[in-house]
């Protein structure tokens, strides 16, 4: 496999991974968590109960946040496919960084709906469905991969530089 075809494959898989993360992100906030927080109720019944208490559970914030993540992935994908000398390392690091950034985006996007569920049903505002844990785990693994990879790259670059004749 040539470096360019590897970079293309990496960019496509990175975009798919970010899109999958975004899908879980939206489903967790807009579907799974509300249903888990209020078992036995439909999404419409949850919306009505929240509205009766002056709360808004379903907002466009998760959709917009997820769209930003997918947009960033496409922003990396296009140059990775078009630019002949694009760095494979930069492409990989970019996708890992986008997934790492999903964790704070998830926290911010889910905070309001979670608090609305808490105020409506007198429960905790945290996650009630496992999707949030999956997202946090994916972001943590991506962060660890970036750190380990960065240290390995810096160490190998330093070793290469010190081994070069002066």
Beta-carbon-side half-sphere exposure of residue 79 (alpha carbons within 13 Å): 12
Band (pLDDT 50/70/90 cuts) for residue 166 is: low
Q: Cα–Cα distances in Å, from 10 out to 15, 59, 89?
A: 8, 33, 10
Where along the chain do its domains lie?
3-158
Q: In whole angstroms, what is the distance from residue 164 CA to residue 166 CA?
A: 6
pLDDT at 161: 64
* CA torsion angle 5 9 10 15 (round to 10): 140
Phi, psi of 82 (to 5 degrees): -95, -45
pLDDT at 163: 61
What share of the chain has pLDDT > 70, as a percent? 94
pLDDT at 164: 60
Q: What is the pTM of this model?
A: 0.91
The structure tokens listed for 103 are 């964790």
Q: DSSP secondary-structure letter at 85?
A: T
Which tens digits make up the pLDDT trace of 27-84? Answer: 999 999 999 999 999 999 999 999 999 999 999 999 999 999 999 999 999 999 999 8
């Amino acid at each position: 496999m040539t470096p360019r075809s590897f970079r293309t494959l990496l960019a496509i898989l990175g975009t798919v991974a970010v899109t999958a993360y975004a899908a879980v992100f939206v489903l967790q906030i807009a579907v799974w968590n509300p249903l888990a927080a209020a078992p036995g109720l439909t999404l419409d019944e949850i919306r009505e109960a929240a509205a009766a208490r002056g709360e808004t559970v379903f907002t466009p914030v998760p959709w917009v946040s997820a769209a930003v993540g997918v947009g960033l992935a496409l922003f990396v994908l296009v140059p990775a496919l078009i630019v002949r000398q694009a760095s494979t390392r930069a492409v990989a690091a970019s996708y890992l960084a986008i997934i790492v950034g999903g964790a704070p985006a998830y926290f911010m996007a889910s905070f309001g709906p979670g608090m609305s569920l808490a105020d409506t049903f007198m429960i905790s505002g945290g996650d009630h469905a496992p999707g949030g844990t999956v997202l946090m785990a994916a972001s943590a693994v991506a962060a660890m991969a970036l750190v380990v990879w960065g240290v390995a790259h810096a160490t190998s670059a330093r070793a290469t530089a010190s081994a070069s004749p002066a």
